[in-house]
Structure 1
Amino acid sequence: MLEKLRRFFMKQRQNEMDEKYISVSENEINEELQRIIGELERIAEEISKVLKIKYSRIFENQGKKNLRIWICRDIDGDEIDDITAEKCLEKEYRSQIAINYDGPEFDNDFYAAIELWYYFGGYFKGSGTLYDLSKNDLENDIEETLKTLLR
């Protein structure tokens, strides 16, 4: 029974991923895509600032202090302080909206993330997944994640 539940949730998560993201093949990775990724990250930053202001007090009322929502960028898992969207066409570049706060069970990792762009690659070819802003409401997705963290 437990295995059936696990498979159900894995399939549900995969369906969600299929709906929210666009697969990008190696031959579609170009300067236009770089511009689109930069714009997506800029929009995500603006939305994150607004939602941080909106939800900070609500989190504090639950003992979850110092709500942080930001764009986290890394290459091959290494967070680099000055990395920008200009590096988004490097293999293993990932950008995501990260959410964290100080609370009773605080640790060094962030609590939630929404992937924006991930360019994964092998030795010769790569591909990526891009959050589909044309079919999804990023603000709503961030808000739903925040509400989940409040439960």
Structure 2
Amino acid sequence: MEEKNASNVHINIYGGTNQILPNATKAEQHFYYRAEQPETPAPDAQPRPWTEDDKRRLSLYLEKEESLQAYIATLAACTTAQQAGEAVAEMCANEPKMDSELIVKEKFIRLLLPFLVRLEKGKGIDNLRVNINNAWLGRKRQLRKPTIG
């Protein structure tokens, strides 16, 4: 009987595409890639519920474009009517075209509504007016307090 000196080979394959070519002297593999732009929008390109007209109307009360963008971002981030009131009080304190009478008028509060996108409850004019008044009065009290030093 003729003896063969063959070695035992164990091949374990776990998924993927595999080729076993025991007698091959050469193997080539070609990959073809077609580059496409991803379908997801960039973070800044997310659709906004407010229009350019909404921004233009609010800009009548703000002097700088940077301030407009900052206040819009702040209003859009508000999740409660109290936070919205504080944001409006901040606007009033920093913008010369705004005063305490203007910020509680229905006409002005309606300008803010398109930007309050995360506000689920308390979007009523009266509720926002109360929160704006409270924030404004709290801000005035804070300024009047004597500092201990």
User: TM-score, normalising length from structure 1?
Assistant: 0.21
More strand, by proportion = 1
TM-score (norm 2): 0.21
Query: Could you say which structure has the larger radius of gyration?
Result: 2
